[in-house]
Structure 1
Amino acid sequence: MPDYALLKTVHILSSTLLFGTGLGTAFHGWMANRSGVLAARRVVNRNVERADWLFTTPAVIAQPVTGIWLAQLAGFPLTTPWLVTAMALYVLVGACWLPVVAIQIAMRRIADTTPDGADLPPRYHRLARWWFALGWPAFAGVIVIFWLMVAKPEFAL
């Protein structure tokens, strides 16, 4: 049997990595886009994309694996309302994150192919607005998931 404390530590660390990387990349992406500096946008878009591959993606995979495993070890049925709600929110967060990944790649490509001194095309700015907008429900969803994991409230679905 796996060590519960070790598994819980991995779960907490991966959730921290997921939340922290998301918040950090959102801040840097937003600030680079506000700056209006093409070179800043190029660097930040490239690094946001890298951060998603290096940190967010492994955490996205680790979360449900360790979470379900922990629930089973702790004796929580997967039909427990707070767990069902957390898993549904996780799917919602993922439904926001997956398009954001594609948007980030498109934004990086546009910035990389825009000549120095030229304005970014309107498509870049539309994508940046979608990128920003999709971050809010994902951010709120993760906050609620954290609360559900800590409070484990009793309610009926």
Structure 2
Amino acid sequence: MLYLWIKYIHILSSTIVFGTGIGTAAVMVYGHLYQDIAVKVAIYRYVVIADWIFTSTSGFVQLISGLALVYIANIPITTFWILGGLIGYSITAICWFIVVYLQIKIKQIAEVTYATGKPLSVTYYRYFYLWFFLGWPAFISLLIVFYLMVLKPYSLFGS
């Protein structure tokens, strides 16, 4: 019964990670497209908060619950789908940490721009485009992790 409860928490946390990841990314893009700097500032503040509250906590819970499931089921960590999932999750996490740093910097630049009335800096645009492009490997890696979690292949070419 413990295994099933942990599995439930694991699946729930994975939906939160995936959903908030896509949701905050979409809202961040919408914020970037707005011309009104006050709107940008408000959106970016909420995106940073949402990522810390939802994505970081559920990402941590997902990692711990996944490792607990592997331990309880006595599955070797070197099993293809588990090792692949951990690698994909690591890629996602590395990208996510950089993305969150960039989100904070983008928010800070927008706040300064709002306070001073100056135009957005070149640095803002560099950070935004880097943020955008780093989101793709994180997103694709999560799709691969979902594939591995659901289908549990034992090799690259199937079961």
Which bin holds the TM-score, normalised by the shorter protein?
A: over 0.9
What's the % identity of the aligned pairs?
A: 38
Cα distance in structure 2, aligned partners of 1:119 and 1:23: 28
Amino acid across the alignment from 1:78 = I
- Mapping 1:1-157, distance limit 5 Å: 3-115=2-114, 117-155=117-155
Secondary structure, counterpart of 1:57 in structure 2: helix
Q: CA deviation at 1:75?
A: 2.7
* Runs ≥4 residues deviating over 4 A: none
Q: CA deviation at 1:26?
A: 0.2
Q: CA deviation at 1:124?
A: 0.5
Cα distance in structure 1, aligned partners of 2:47 and 2:119: 21
Which digits, 9 at most, give the CA deviation of each residue in 1:47-83, with x for residues without a partner?
1110111111111211111001111222321110111
Any gaps of 5 or more consecutive residues in structure 2? none
Q: CA deviation at 1:102?
A: 0.8
Q: CA deviation at 1:118?
A: 3.2
Alpha-carbon RMSD: 1.6
Q: CA deviation at 1:115?
A: 3.3
Secondary structure, counterpart of 1:115 in structure 2: helix
TM-score (norm 2): 0.92
Q: How many pairs are equivalent? A: 156
Secondary structure, counterpart of 2:114 in structure 1: coil
Deviates more, 1:64-73 or 1:136-145: 64-73
Amino acid across the alignment from 1:81 = F
Q: CA deviation at 1:4?
A: 1.4
Cα distance in structure 2, aligned partners of 1:40 and 1:5: 44
Deviates more, 1:30-39 or 1:6-15: 30-39
Which digits, 9 at most, give the CA deviation of each residue in 1:136-156, with x for residues without a partner?
010000011001000001216
